[in-house]
Each structure stands twice: as structure tokens, then as C-alpha cells.
Chains A and B, each alone.
Chain A
Amino acid sequence: MKRSNIFTSKSLRVIKMKDEVVMEIRGLTKKYGDIVGIKDLDLDVYKGEILGFLGPNGAGKTTTIRTCLGLLQKTSGDVKIFGLDSHKDSIEIRQRTGYLPGDFGMYPDLKVKTILRYLLSQSGVSDESKMKELAERLELDINRKYGNLSKGNKQKVGLVQAFMADQDLIIMDEPTSGLDPLMQQKCYELLREEKAKGKTIFMSSHILAEVEEVCDRVAIIRNAELQVVENIDSLKEKMGKKLVIEFENSVDPTLFSMKGVEDFEMDGRKATMIVTSNLDEVIKKISKQNVVNMSLETFSLEQLFLTYYSRGGNER
């Protein structure tokens, strides 16, 4: 049974949340020789939203981010950030954009504050108050040498430097990597606060709970191609609900061959199906049988993601 068409090309239309587009990506393709890093990517990021960029390792998340920042040359397509060309006007863009790389290093023999001051000055900012406030909040000792920090503390340095210049757009690649759960929560708080100030945040992650907790929308990428861009709640809605029914007697599976029902499985007297629409009709059909037990579950983003990747991977 075929699933709904939410991942088909028609559904790849951008879902507009607010008026002002901060990042506008059109037909972006990046190839490394014969290897395709990202293919024909269309994506908009709107002012004041947090967009989660989801995908397994190697899907193309980091390539997308780094191409948008002009760190990688694009093979084709266009990226506009604040209406400026990502490569021709990259300095102006970087003036207004904070970036946390997924994997980064710094000068191991220098103190954290020396490094942060250098990066801050490169952004043309002399006021260190936000840098100090962020360090204090994340419990980061900026008087220590960078090389002596733990992985988690190094990640805090990355977070501080991404936010300290108070820029309009923050792009982050796996922002909570290496942080303990407490610090992860602090990071989420920080993201929500920045969003409340009107900042736009574009973050990649493979931690689905994180995306579910802080993001307004999610873009899912697989094998270098964008699969879906959706509001998280709408996505859950479109993905349907998992219905499990235990009948008193075995039923005819063809009974549920109808629009809005997918992945029907019958295991003895127990039936499992995904209901994407037409729930009323399904309930009516069930009501004609003797039901012992029944549950209707909404997908968590994690289930949704795993379901998609385990089953929907070859549909496009």
C-alpha cells in the first residue's frame, strides 16, 4: 500500500509562515567531483523562526549550511540571505550572521577570552558584555586555555561565539553536540530567547527531540535531496496516526482498503494501520466488528522520522 503523497514533489512547496524571507535557497546543487553533496535544494527560512534541518549523517546538512555561508563553492543554484548573494556578498552576510560549525577547533594554546575577543572583533563588535554574559550563563571559564577544555566546554565556546555579536541570523550545525542534558536545556532556552528577540535561527540536528522542542518548522533531507519542509504539527498531522485494533475474531484485510489508510498489517486478530485521513470512515468500519482493544497514537517526530527513513526512503 502506498503512503500519502506528502513527500512528493508537489508537497515540496515552501510553507510560508511569515512575510520576510531571511534565507532564500533556489535550486542549490553542490557536487564534489562525481559525488553529490546536495541536489536542487529549494528552501526558505523566515524571519523570527527556528527552522530545524533534519537528516541522517551524510545527508547533506553541513554541505547546505557551508555552501550558504560561502565556505563551499556552489555548483549551481542561488542562495540569497538578507536579499544578498551568498557568495558575491558573503562579507555583508557574515556581518549579520552568527555561525556554529558542527566540528571546529581553535588555537589550543590561547585563552578562551583571547579567542572570543578576536572573533568578536572580526565581526566589528567591541562590546564584550554579551560575550561575558553568555559565558557566565553557560558556566564557561574564559580564562582557561582552549586546549585544556573538555569537549562540552569547547562546544560552549562555539555557542558563545555564535551568539555574542548579537546578529540577525544564527546558523548552527548540531548545536548541542557534546553538551550534557542540563546544558542542552540552557541552549534551548537561549534559542527560544533569541527567537523571541526576532532573531532567525537555522539549525541542523539529528536529535529529533531537540528539533521537536525548539523548532517551528522542520526540513528533512535525505541522500542530498530535500524531502519535506513542514510545520512540525502539520507534519505530524499529515503523517497520520497509528491505529492498533485487537478484534475478537480475524477480519478481512480488504475491509480497510480505502483512501487514507496505509501500511495495513494483520497479525492474527491484531490489525495495525496508519490513518492519514478519513478517520471517521475507518471508525465506522471498525464499529461493525467486535473490538477487544484499540489505541490511536500520534507520531512523535522521532517515530515520524524513523518511519519515514525505514519505509519511505525509496518512494521518491
Chain B
Amino acid sequence: MKIGKTMLMELKDRWKGFVLFILVVVLLVGGFVQAYPSFREAFDEGLEGSENVEVEVLKGEENISVMLSWKEFEDAENYSILVGESPNMMVPLDIVEGVENTYHEYVLGFDGDDIPERYFAVVAVRSDGERELVGMETNFERRTAFQEIWGIDYGDIQGFLSLLWSTWWVLLIGLYIGYISVNVITKDYEEDRMDLILSKPISRKQYLLEKFMVVSLYTLSVLVIIGLLLIVSVASVGELDSVSSYGLMSSSLLSWPVFLVMISVSMLAGVYLESSRKAVGVSFIFILTQYGINMVGDLTEGLEYLKTYTIINYWDYESALFGEAVSAFDVVFLFVISALLVGSALMIFERKDIPV
């Protein structure tokens, strides 16, 4: 059985590098998840003195009101209540001065059926005229700054893990896999063994497909390891109730088609250019450009459409993590792109003179 011999040979030749990369990834992913509790605390920006103030929404038949209650402030002669749209209260929408220091409660009436999202601040006014904040509270569940900008709360485990995927992950695996995909081809040229290998009864098609398969399956095994590691790591920080094991594994595995496209591009460059240096350059430019365009599309309002031109856009890790349905079209689309690229590499390779 000759099938798989070239794959096996690549594994024998490269196993040390493969194992080392898996160790690096394991350490990075494990370490990343372990940093989650500290990260969550850092983003848990409670409002100052919120423990001293309570907000209760009261719905009447004709109107709606908010009842504020607060802890008594020592030495307070009366209180001021400020209502604003943001926690800084630089330009409050409403100020109620001289609230009596008797019940430590105050009811604010609003027109209509609903109350917009508002910040409420209770300020104690001392006998000497000095003012001091008792506390602040809102009538809604607050979102983090990330949530405001990107609509995702990175303080949640799902949001935090989506940071892993959307930031260094594509670059780390993509660049390594791109490098390997080029080298499995070009090293055979550069180390003068292509001639000898292809003088044996192996077709160029089988040779190239086995090279593609070895990198693809290695990438898949890395992603499975990452998926398992995520499950273990997330369990170890006590968050496995918040995100499903299936979601964790599938968010990792769904990146496989993206990496397959990267492998195909890199191999096509390797076959065509025959030089590690040039082909790695092309591969890295492709991956970095994809990453860069995706980031610009993510961060720049109005340029979101650019993301549709990147393969990373078709990796729906957010849906996987948040337990939503993943688009089958995205996955199939990436497989088709990859197949077309590998087909092009095969066409070039089969008609190519093998250099010496």
C-alpha cells in the first residue's frame, strides 16, 4: 500500500517541530484561559457607591416612576439627586436639590410607558455646604465598553474566548501552518530530493495531495487538541456552565476550513515559486492581509463590508461559542475555495519541469 507513505515520511521528518508547536499552543491557550478570572475582575467596573443606592422601577397605570433609596449618610443635611445618560454626570439631564434627610428615598416620575436607560447619583449635602457622593446606580444592566463598541461582552467567558480567536489565534496558527505548507514542497526542491522521489512510481497528484493532507490533518489535530484543552481549562476556572463543551470544540474546529485555504494558498505559492523564501513571503502576505482587512472591517464603521472579502469572516466562532446556529454555507464556501486552490496547484505541478 503506497498511499500515505509520503505523509508518513513528512511526519518522520517534521515530528519534532510539530510536537513543539503543539506544546507552545497548549501553553498559550491554557495560560490564556487561566487569565480569565483576573480579566473578568478587571472589566467589572462597578459604579462608585452602588452598594449604597438601590433603584426600583414602579409601573403605574398611567405613568412610570423610579424609586431611589439609599443608605443614610452621616452628617448629611439634605441630598441632591442627579439623573444622567452616562456615569460621569458632567452634564446631568435633571437635578433635584434639597431632598430631605428623613426617609432616604425619592420617587422620580417619567412620562410614557418606558424609562430610558439612566444613571442616578445621590449626593449628600453637609451642613457646611460640602457635597459628597453617596452612590450611583442605573435602571438597566450595564454593558462594558467592549459591549458598547462591538456588541460582545468580553467579560463573559464566551466573549473572552472570542478574543482568543479574533486576535492572535489566526496569526499564530496561520503563519506556522503557512510556513509548513510551503516547506513541505519547497524543501524537496531545495534539498534536491524532488527528482529522486518523483522518479519512483508515485504520481505528482498523489505526491501533492499527500503533502496537503499531512498539513491539513496536522492542523485538524492541533484544533482538536485546542478544543479539548479549552473544555478542560474552562472547567478549571469554573465556567463550564456558561458555555457548552460542544460550543468550545466546534468554535475551534470551525477554523479548520479557514486554515485549509491558507494551506492551499501556501502550497500553490510553493509549487509555483519553488523557493521557500519567496513562497513563505507570499503566504505570510496573504495571511497578514486577510487578518489586517478583517481587523479594519471590525474596527471601522462603514468598512465592515471589507470583511466579506476575507476568509476569516467565514469562520463563525461567535455563533459556535454562543450556542447559535452556524452557517453551513460559510463552511462549504471555504472548502470549495480550498479545493479550487489545490486543483490549481495540481494543474501547475503536473505540467511543471522538475528543476535540478
* B-binding residues in A (CB < 8 A): 32, 62, 66, 69, 71-73, 91-92, 94-95, 97, 99, 101-110, 114, 118-119, 121-124, 158, 161
Which one of A99, A105, A118 contacts B199 once the chains associate, using CB atoms below 8 Å?
Answer: A99
Q: B1-55: which have CB < 8 Å to A?
A: 2, 5, 8-9, 12-13
Would you mind naming 10 contact pairs between A and B with Cβ atoms under 8 Å apart? A72-B353, A72-B354, A91-B202, A91-B203, A94-B201, A107-B12, A107-B13, A109-B13, A122-B200, A122-B201
Complex Cα distance, B2 from A138, in Å, reads: 28
Contacts of A123 in B (CB 8 A): 200-201
6 residue pairs, one from A and one from B, having the closest CB atoms: A105-B192, A122-B200, A99-B199, A105-B191, A94-B201, A95-B201
Residue of B13, B195, B199, B352 with most partner-chain A CB within 10 A: B199
Which residue on B lies nearest to A97, using beta carbons? B199
Complex Cα distance, B2 from A95, in Å, reads: 12
Which one of A104, A110, A119 contacts B195 once the chains associate, using CB atoms below 8 Å?
Answer: A104
Complex Cα distance, B15 from A107, in Å, reads: 13
- Distance in angstroms from A31 CB to nearest chain B CB is 11
Which residue on A lies nearest to B356, using beta carbons? A103
Given contacts A106-B191, A114-B12, contact A119 B196 (CB under 8 A): yes
B105-120 vs A, Cβ < 8 Å mask (1 yes, 0 no):
0000000000000000
B320-356 vs A, Cβ < 8 Å mask (1 yes, 0 no):
0000000000000000000000000000000111101
Asked if B95 is at the interface of the complex by the 8 Å CB criterion, the answer is no
Which one of A62, A97, A99 contacts B196 once the chains associate, using CB atoms below 8 Å?
Answer: A99
Contacts of A69 in B (CB 8 A): 199
- Distance in angstroms from A64 CB to nearest chain B CB is 13
Task: Please tell me if the beta carbons of A71 and B13 are within 8 angstroms of each other in the complex.
Answer: no
- Distance in angstroms from A66 CB to nearest chain B CB is 7
Task: Please tell me if the beta carbons of B13 and A110 are within 8 angstroms of each other in the complex.
Answer: yes
Given contacts A66-B354, A101-B199, A106-B196, contact A122 B12 (CB under 8 A): no
Q: B196-212: which have CB < 8 Å to A?
A: 196-203
Task: Please tell me if the beta carbons of A73 and B353 are within 8 angstroms of each other in the complex.
Answer: yes
- Distance in angstroms from B179 CB to nearest chain A CB is 17
Asked if B277 is at the interface of the complex by the 8 Å CB criterion, the answer is no
Contacts of B195 in A (CB 8 A): 66, 71, 101, 104
Complex Cα distance, B188 from A95, in Å, reads: 21
Asked if B193 is at the interface of the complex by the 8 Å CB criterion, the answer is yes
Contacts of A119 in B (CB 8 A): 196-197, 200
Task: Please tell me if the beta carbons of B351 and A73 are within 8 angstroms of each other in the complex.
Answer: yes
B214-233 vs A, Cβ < 8 Å mask (1 yes, 0 no):
00000000000000000000
Task: Please tell me if the beta carbons of A101 and B12 are within 8 angstroms of each other in the complex.
Answer: no
Contacts of A72 in B (CB 8 A): 353-354
B176-195 vs A, Cβ < 8 Å mask (1 yes, 0 no):
00000000000000011101
B229-258 vs A, Cβ < 8 Å mask (1 yes, 0 no):
000000000000000000000000000000
Which one of B193, B200, B201, B352 contacts A105 once the chains associate, using CB atoms below 8 Å?
Answer: B193
Contacts of A118 in B (CB 8 A): 5, 8-9
Complex Cα distance, B200 from A92, in Å, reads: 10
Complex Cα distance, B191 from A97, in Å, reads: 23
Complex Cα distance, B139 from A154, in Å, reads: 80
